[in-house]
Amino acid sequence: MEAQVESQHKACMAKCLELARKSPPKPTNFRVGAMIIRESDLSTIAQGYTLELPGNTHAEQCCFIKLAEQHSTTEEGLAKAITGPHALYTTVEPCFKRLSGNLPCVERVIRQSSWIKTVYVGVQEPETFVGQNPGRKMLEDAGIQVVLVDGLEDEILAVATAGHIKDA
């Protein structure tokens, strides 16, 4: 049974990786894919990728924006519009700081802690832009479980950092 659940998580992460591939490679961000899954029936209720929507958007942010539109509410209003436990899958750990001035993804997820109960991540956020990420602890302190999904790390990092300038 545990192997089946593990393979389901890996399959969801593989779908997120395919979403991440749609993000344009740039030297100033990570290419990330994300999905929100309803835990009761394992259906995908939203998906997104970095820069999918206008405004220097991150993958998780795109999921929330699209969900808010589906529910005719704001991102802040989602906590009232959605009930029951859901999980967020994201190829790279949610950011805790945005250099662009946008709300960090960790804060966006914490705002939805009434219904997002687990965050599954493919890799921890590399320290490239903002240093060490305390996001996992922030999420856990808010009552959200964070689970690392093993098996796709190398591929996720290759996609996430495509377009970055490599040290010579």
- 60 an active-site residue? yes
Query: Could you say which of 18, 39, 52, 60 is catalytic?
Result: 60
**DSSP class of 72:** T
> Residue 3 is inside which H or E element, if any?
helix 2-20
Scanning the structure block, which residue is given the tokens 């958007």?
57
Q: Closest by alpha carbon to 94, among 127, 73, 121, 115?
A: 121
Backbone angles phi, psi at 42, to 5 degrees: 60, 25
* Three-state SS at 33: strand
CA distance to 9, 39, 80, 157, per residue, from 90 (Å)? 11, 16, 23, 12
Catalytic residues: 60
